[in-house]
């Protein structure tokens, strides 16, 4: 299940264990809207391995600043609280699966 988070404490709690994919998005962003169903599809088949967290940059301004988000959508893959990699822009399902391999 995809969670929406706006507070730093909540995000830190979620990412401290396991693998987490953080989607920094905005409700007004076209590519973000296109990415949303791709994330839903990915979550259906990978929820046991990877948690997905969505952060609305307009509501989670401090989080976006802390993570240095300069464009949306930005996806960040985190393992045990440490950033592994990030990418920006729309990803189709195959690109997302490739991105989440490490």
- Average pLDDT (81-90) is 97
In tens, the pLDDT along 19-74 reads: 999 999 999 999 999 999 999 999 999 999 999 999 999 999 999 999 999 999 99
Per the structure, how many domains does the chain have? 1
Look up the CATH number of the domain holding residue 80.
3.40.30.10
Distance CA(72)–CA(66), nearest Å, equals 15
Name the pTM for this structure. 0.96
pLDDT of the residue at 3: 96
Range of the domain at 71: 3-99
Catalytic residue, candidates 29, 34, 38, 88: 29
Determine whether 100 is an active site residue: no
pLDDT at 102: 81
Question: What does the chain look like in DSSP terms, one character per residue?
Answer: --EE---HHHHHHHHTSSEEEEEEE-TT-HHHHHHHHHHHHHHHHHTTTEEEEEEETTT-HHHHHHTT--SSSEEEEEETTEEEEEEES---HHHHHHHT--
More confident call, 32 vs 102: 32
Q: In the β-sheet with 82-88, what is the strand arrangement from edge to edge? A: 3-4, 50-56, 19-25, 74-79, 82-88
Predicted local distance difference test score (pLDDT) of residue 53: 97
What's residue 12's pLDDT? 94
**Catalytic pick among 32, 55, 72, 100:** 32
């Amino acid at each position: 299940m995809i969670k929406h988070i706006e507070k730093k404490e909540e995000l830190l709690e979620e990412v401290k264990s396991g693998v987490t994919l953080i989607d920094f998005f905005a409700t007004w962003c076209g590519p973000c809207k296109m990415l949303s169903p791709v994330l839903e599809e990915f979550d259906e088949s990978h929820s046991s391995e990877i948690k997905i967290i969505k952060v609305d940059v307009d509501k989670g301004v401090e989080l976006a600043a802390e993570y240095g988000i300069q464009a949306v959508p930005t996806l960040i893959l985190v393992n045990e609280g440490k950033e592994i990699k990030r990418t920006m822009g729309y990803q189709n399902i195959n690109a997302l699966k490739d991105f989440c391999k490490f």
